């Protein structure tokens, strides 16, 4: 595994001198029949350079880049340092990988009693949009909107809908068609604060606020799941296939053409159920993740799934897995080679643009070498 990471780092240095590749149309967006694979990159996390190397080596369809607003702009007068975002976006562009910014953690100065200030949030989104232009394909707007921790106020579906539509209108006013991904809804965890909303109830209220007309992409996040990927129910906690209940709410509201993105999910680790403890072992975790990817990809309404962290996240250990594909400066997670093999099944190397396969094409359910 040390050889894999060293080779990826060498390739990253060499590719840095090559011209930017012509980007193919992003997979998993409205109008696309193709499924996209993604992973997370954390600019403030450890082993950022190694994460960039894996980003280039994996040939991902998407990379989700955590944009921690408060850490970037402690005050409205602060000079924002975009250096790491610049490097991440440049690396993704050279690799032909579409970029999703996940905007999180609004700073205190940008908050009101009802939630993030519209003007401040829109200004920051427009700044990001103008700075990165077509290199930035989508923005996930404040994921975890149904939780107090993420919204940083009492969650309110109507307030979220209003903020979303305001930002969409401002982007439209300057002719910017960038995709805004809504929600990042998270199932209620045991012991959640009293103010947190059930994700399905929150989603229903978004539809009451007209989401069918303004929300082409809904994102969901599963910080904690339990059981094997095929389970539909669990005595405690949330099984992976909770996404089917989310989809049912979409269908109940006539949102047949709406896309679902799973922007975050972590393998079970025994926190919810002792029977999940086996998945704390990385080899068993790899097998769980492989099965989960095949299962999720089979859903025609699922556009993109972000399967793992490239490098460890600095903050929010209750949201992002403490694990990552980069384990240290020379070692990668055993899931890395499995993930790469799965991606290559969908994106066969042709020497030019990767043609991919539609979501209706079955993947081989084989065991990959790790």
- Break the chain down into helix, strand, coil percent, rounded to 5: 40, 15, 45
Residue 99, classed as helix, strand or coil, is: strand
Which of 77-81, 113-117, 133-137, 311-315 has the least mean pLDDT?
A: 311-315
Is the Cβ–Cβ distance between 196 and 157 less than 8 Å? no
pLDDT at residue 18 is higher than 80: no
What is the tens place of the pLDDT at every residue in 330-342?
999 999 999 999 9
% of the chain residues with pLDDT over 90: 77
Q: Is residue 367 part of a domain?
A: no
Read off the CATH number of the domain in which 101 is found.
Answer: 3.20.20.80
* CA count, 13 A, side-chain hemisphere, 191: 4
- The DSSP H or E segment spanning 37 is strand 36-41
Distances in Å between the alpha carbon of 262 and those of 37, 204, 220, 259? 10, 18, 5, 10
Q: What is the mean pLDDT of the chain?
A: 89
Give the pLDDT band of residue 318 (cuts 50, 70, 90).
Answer: low
Q: Is residue 354 part of a domain?
A: no
Is the Cβ–Cβ distance between 20 and 12 less than 8 Å? no
Model pLDDT, residue 270: 87
What is the tens place of the pLDDT at every residue in 26-38?
999 999 989 999 9
CA distance 167 to 227: 38
Which residue did the predictor score with more confidence, 194 or 7? 194
CA distance 94 to 109: 36
- Could you tell me the two tokens for 334? 């055993």
Is the Cβ–Cβ distance between 255 and 207 less than 8 Å? yes
Which of 2-6, 206-210, 364-368 has the least mean pLDDT?
A: 364-368
Residues 6+ apart with CB under 8 A from 320: 40, 42, 66, 223, 264, 266, 309, 313
CA distance 180 to 141: 7
Q: Is residue 23 part of a domain?
A: no
Give the pLDDT band of residue 362 (cuts 50, 70, 90).
Answer: low
Find where tokens 């992409």 sit: 217
Task: Specify the DSSP class assigned to residue 108.
Answer: G
Which residue did the predictor score with more confidence, 149 or 11? 149
For 19, other C-beta atoms within 10 Å of its C-beta total 6
Is the Cβ–Cβ distance between 271 and 323 less than 8 Å? no
pLDDT at residue 317 is higher than 80: no
Q: Is residue 360 part of a domain?
A: no
What is the tens place of the pLDDT at every residue in 223-255?
999 999 999 988 888 999 999 999 999 999 999
pLDDT at residue 45 is higher than 50: yes
Distance from the Cα of residue 248 to its chain's centroid: 21
pLDDT at residue 370 is higher than 50: no
Q: What is the pTM of this model?
A: 0.89
* CA count, 13 A, side-chain hemisphere, 162: 11
* CA count, 13 A, side-chain hemisphere, 195: 14
Model pLDDT, residue 342: 94
Model pLDDT, residue 353: 41
Q: Is residue 143 part of a domain?
A: yes
% of the chain residues with pLDDT over 70: 86
pLDDT at residue 71 is higher than 50: yes
The total number of structural domains in the chain stands at 1
Give the pLDDT band of residue 268 (cuts 50, 70, 90).
Answer: very high
Q: Is residue 276 part of a domain?
A: yes
Kindly state the average pLDDT of the residues 30-57: 96
pLDDT at residue 352 is higher than 80: no
Is the Cβ–Cβ distance between 300 and 269 less than 8 Å? no
Kindly state the average pLDDT of the residues 113-117: 97
| Burial (CB count <10 Å: 0-12, 13-18, 19+), residue 13 | exposed
Which residue did the predictor score with more confidence, 276 or 209? 209
* CA count, 13 A, side-chain hemisphere, 73: 22
CA distance 64 to 124: 18
CA distance 286 to 275: 17
Give the pLDDT band of residue 124 (cuts 50, 70, 90).
Answer: very high
Q: Is residue 119 part of a domain?
A: yes
Residues 6+ apart with CB under 8 A from 46: 311, 312, 314
Q: Is residue 355 part of a domain?
A: no
Could you list the residue range(s) of the whole structural domain that residue 82 is in?
2-14+36-346
- Could you tell me the two tokens for 280? 């704390």
């Amino acid at each position: 595994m040390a050889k894999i990471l060293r080779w990826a780092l060498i390739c990253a240095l060499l590719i840095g001198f090559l011209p930017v590749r012509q980007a193919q149309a992003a997979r998993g967006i409205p109008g696309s029949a193709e499924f996209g694979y993604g992973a997370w990159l954390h600019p403030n996390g450890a082993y950022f350079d190694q994460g960039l190397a894996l980003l280039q080596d994996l040939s991902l369809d998407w990379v989700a880049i955590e944009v921690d607003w408060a850490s970037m702009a402690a005050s409205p007068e602060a000079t924002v340092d975009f250096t790491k975002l610049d490097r991440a976006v440049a690396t993704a562009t050279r690799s032909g990988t579409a970029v999703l910014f996940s905007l999180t953690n609004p700073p205190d100065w940008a908050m009101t009693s009802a939630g993030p200030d519209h003007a401040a949030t829109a200004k920051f989104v427009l700044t990001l949009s103008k700075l990165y232009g077509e290199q930035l394909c989508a923005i996930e707007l404040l994921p975890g909107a149904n939780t107090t921790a993420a919204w940083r106020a009492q969650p309110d579906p109507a307030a979220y809908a209003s903020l979303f539509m305001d930002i969409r209108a401002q982007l439209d006013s300057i002719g910017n068609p960038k995709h805004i991904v809504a929600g990042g809804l998270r199932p209620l965890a045991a012991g959640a604060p009293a103010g947190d909303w059930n994700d399905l109830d929150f989603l229903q209220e978004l539809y009451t606020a007209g989401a069918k007309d303004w929300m082409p992409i809904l994102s969901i996040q599963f910080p904690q799941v339990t059981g094997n990927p095929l389970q539909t129910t669990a005595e405690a906690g949330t099984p992976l296939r909770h996404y089917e209940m989310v989809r049912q709410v979409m269908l109940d509201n006539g949102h047949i053409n709406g896309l679902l993105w799973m922007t975050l999910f972590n393998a079970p680790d025994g926190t919810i159920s002792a029977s999940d403890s086996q998945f704390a072992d990385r080899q068993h975790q790899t097998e769980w993740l492989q099965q989960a990817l095949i299962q999720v990809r089979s859903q025609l309404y699922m556009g993109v799934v972000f399967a793992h962290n490239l490098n460890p996240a600095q903050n929010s250990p209750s949201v992002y897995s403490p694990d990552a594909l980069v384990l240290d400066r020379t070692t990668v997670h055993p899931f890395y080679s499995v993930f790469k093999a799965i991606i290559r099944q969908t994106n066969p190397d042709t020497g030019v643009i990767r043609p991919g396969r539609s979501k209706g094409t079955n993947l081989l359910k084989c065991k990959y070498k790790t």
